[in-house]
Amino acid sequence: MTGKTHDAIIVGGGHNGLTTAAYLAKAGLDVVVVEKNPHVGGAAVSLELHEGWVYSNCSYVCSMMRQSIHRDLDLTRHGLILVPYLGTVNFGDDGQTLIDYPSEEAAHLELKRHSPHDADSMHRFQADLARYAQFIRKTLLRTPPDPTSMRPRDIRELLFLGKQMWSLGEREMYEYVRFFTISAADFLEDYFENDLIKAAMASPGIIGTALGVYSPGSAYILLHHVMGDVDGNIGAWGLARGGMGAISEALASAAREHGAEIRTTSGVQQILVKDGEACGVVLENGDELNAGIVVSNLDAKRTFTRVMDRNDLPPGIYEKAKNFKIRGSSGKVNIALDGMPQFTGVPDNRYVNRGGQGFTGSLKTMERAYDAWKHGRWSPDPFVESVIPSAWDPTVAPPGKHWMSNFVQYCPPTLAEGPWTPEERDAFGQAVVDKIERYSPGFKDLIVHMEVRTPHDLEQEVGLTEGNIFQGELTIDQLLFNRPFPGYAQYRMPVKNLYMCGSSTHPGGGVSSACGANAAREILMDLKKPNTVPEDDFYDE
C-alpha cells in the first residue's frame, strides 16, 4: 500500500490546482495532481460531445487570467492562444437592439440612438468602473491580511490596503463604499435612464451569483467584467483558441514540464489526517498516496464536509464549512448549430453579428428571473448571455458550422418540487431555446446537438457544490480576509499541512489562476523554499 511519499498532493486538477502544481514543481517539489475526471481542467474544459464540435461546456470566456502568470509559465508556448472577441448585441424586452460596436464612435452613436443622455454618461461610467477595478486588481495576487493579527506581514499588508484606500481621498472613498455595497440597479441609476442600456450594463452584476440586480452588493460583481484583460487590454474579453480546455491543458503542460505528475480518473475519497496533520489521500479505487502536504482545489464546503472525516477537524470547522455560502444559480446550454444564426434587427456586419448576444431584456426581467429562482423555478423569460466562439475560432466546429455557448441566469440547484429530472432539464433547455428563437426566427431549425447543464449537472460532473461557478458567493462576508472563513484566508487550513488553492479562496472565481498562485506562494514560504510565483502587473503607476 505505501509507496514513496510525495512532497505535495493536489486534490483536483482545475485550473487553480494545476497552477499551484506548476509553481510547486517549479520550486523543485515532487508534486502529484489527482483529478476525478478523465480530463484535467475542472470547469475550464473543452469537450467533444458531438462529433466535430468542441464545447467549452462550463466556463466559456476568458479575461481574468493573470497576465503575469500567463507569461511566467510560458503558457503560449504550451499552446494557449487568447483571441479577443468583439461586439455584443443586447436584446431588449420588445426586440430593440443595443450593439456594442468595436469602434468608439459607432458605439457612441448607437447609445445615442437610445438615449443621448446615456451616451454622454457612458464615458463617466466606464472611467468610474475602471477606477474601482484598479483597487481590486492590486489585491488579486496578494495574500489577504488577517486584521486580528499583529504579525509584521499582516500589518504590512493591512497598511497596504489602508494606503490604497486612503490615497483615494475623501470623495473617492465615499464613492467606493457606495459602489462596493449598493445594488447594480441603484448604481446604474446614477448614470443611465434607458432601460435596455441599464440592463446591458447590469448583466455582469448577476453572473454566477445568487443575487438580483436589485440586491445590495451586486454592483461590486460588475467589476468582474472590467477587472481582467486580454494581452494587456484592460476590460477586454477573449476566447481561448480550442476552447477553455486550452487554458487547463497549457497549465498542465507547464506543470508536467516542471516535473509534476498528473493522474486523471483518480477521484479522492478522503484526505488522510494523522496526529492532527494532513498526510495523504485515499483514492476512490482504494489506493493510498502519502505526502508532506495536501492542497485541496475543491471548494471549501466539499473539502471539509465531503472528503474529510469530521473527527479530523478542529471543533467548529465543520459548522463553518456547512455555513459557507455556495449557491447554485446558473445554467448552461451548449448548442451545435448547422450554420450562423441570424438575429432580427442586427445589421450584417462581421463585427457585430458574430460576437456575443445578451438576451437581457430589462432590469425588471432580470430581477423577475431571480424571483423565480427564489421560488425554486427557472424563469420562462431567463437572462441568457451567449457567445458564438466558432465565429472567431475555427477549431471548435466543422467548417461552416457553429457552436453557441449560452449562459443562463438563474437556474436553481434543486427545484421546488424536488431534485432535477431529465424531463425538467429538457424543459429548462427549451425555455432558453424559445427565448433565443424570439430574437432569431429559425434558430431552432439550426440545432444539431444540444447539451443542457443545470447546477445539479455541474455539481455531478465538475464537483462544484450546488454548481456554484465561483466556488462560493462573492459577497462581503466571503471576500478578502473572510474567504473562505475568517482566520483561514491565507490558504492554510485548520489542519496542519492542509492548504486550499481553489476559487473558494481569495480572490475568488473567474479563471484567473490567482488563487492557485497565491496558495503556492504561501506553501513555499512555509516549506522555506524560494518563491517561484511572480508579482502582478500594475498598469496605472
Binding site for other proteins (CB under 8 A): 147-148, 166-167, 169-171, 173-174, 177-178, 181-182, 186, 189-190, 211, 214-217, 323, 325, 364, 367-368, 371, 374, 475-477, 481-482, 485-487
CB of residue 331 to other proteins, shortest distance in Å: 20
Q: How far is the CB of 211 from other proteins (least distance, A)?
A: 7
Indicate the residue among 58 and 369 with the shorter CB distance to other proteins: 369
Task: CB nearer to other proteins: give 187 or 403.
Answer: 187
Q: What is the DSSP letter of 482?
A: G
Nearest to 315 by CA among 495, 492, 483, 455: 495
Choice between 66 and 377, CB closer to other proteins: 377
From CA 244, how far away is CA 61, in angstroms rounded? Answer: 7
Q: Which is nearer to other proteins, 9 or 213 (CB)?
A: 213
The H or E element that residue 94 is part of is none
Q: Which is nearer to other proteins, 102 or 486 (CB)?
A: 486
Classify burial at 106, counting beta carbons within 10 Å of its beta carbon; exposed 0-12, middle 13-18, buried 19 or more.
middle
**Chain position carrying cell 507547464:** 254
What secondary structure does DSSP assign to 292-358, as a single string? Answer: EEEEE-S-HHHHHHTSS-GGGSPTTHHHHHHT------EEEEEEEESS----TT----TTTSSSEEE
Task: State the nearest-atom distance from the C-beta of 154 to other proteins, in Å.
Answer: 12
Least distance CB 151 / other proteins (angstroms): 13
Place of cell 461552416: 400
Beta carbons of 277 and 494 less than 8 angstroms apart: no
In the complex, minimum distance from the CB of residue 472 to other proteins, in angstroms, rounded to a whole number: 13
Closer to other proteins by CB, 362 or 386: give it.
362
- Which residues are within 8 A (CB) of 403 and not within 5 positions of it... i.e. 6 or more apart? 53, 54, 55, 334, 335, 336, 337, 388, 389, 390, 396, 397
- The count of other CB atoms within 10 Å of the CB of residue 422 is 8
By C-beta, is 169 or 422 nearer to other proteins? 169
Query: Which residue number, 367 or 381, has a Cβ lying nearer to other proteins?
Result: 367
Nearer to other proteins, 167 or 311 (CB): 167
- Specify whether the CB–CB gap between 344 and 406 falls below 8 A: no
Cα–Cα distance measured from residue 350 to residue 154, given in angstroms and rounded to the nearest whole number = 51
Nearest distance from C-beta of residue 431 to other proteins, angstroms: 20
Position of cell 482545475? Answer: 14
Q: What are phi and psi of 87, to 5 degrees?
A: 75, 115
Residue 238 forms beta bridges with which residues?
62, 84
Q: How far is the CB of 482 from other proteins (least distance, A)?
A: 5
Quote the Cα angle for 230-402-389, to 5°. 10
Shortest Å, Cβ 202 to other proteins: 14
Pair 323, 419: CB distance under 8 Å: no
Would residue 27 be called left, alpha or beta, if left means φ above 0 and alpha means ψ between -120 and 50 degrees? Answer: alpha
Smaller CB separation from other proteins, 312 or 367:
367
CB of 177 to other proteins, least distance (A): 5
Per DSSP, the three-state class of 148 is coil
* Comparison of 389 and 484: residue with beta carbon closer to other proteins: 484
Minimum CB separation of residue 323 from other proteins in Å reads 5
How big is the chain by its Cα radius of gyration, in Å? 23
CA angle, 380 then 381 then 384, to 5° = 120
Minimum separation from the CB atom of position 131 to other proteins (A): 16
Helices (H), 151-206: 152-166, 170-181, 184-189, 195-202
Residue 2 or 167: which CB sits closer to other proteins?
Answer: 167
What's the length of the chain? 541
Residues facing 358 on adjacent strands: 90, 385
**Of the candidates 506, 426, 479, the residue with the CA atom closest to the CA atom of residue 143:** 506
> ∠ CA 476-482-487 to the nearest 5 degrees?
160
- Write down the least CB distance from residue 179 to other proteins, Å: 8
Query: How many DSSP H helices and E strands does the chain contain?
Result: 16, 20
Q: Residue 221 or residue 278: which is nearer to other proteins going by CB?
A: 221
CB of 534 to other proteins, least distance (A): 30
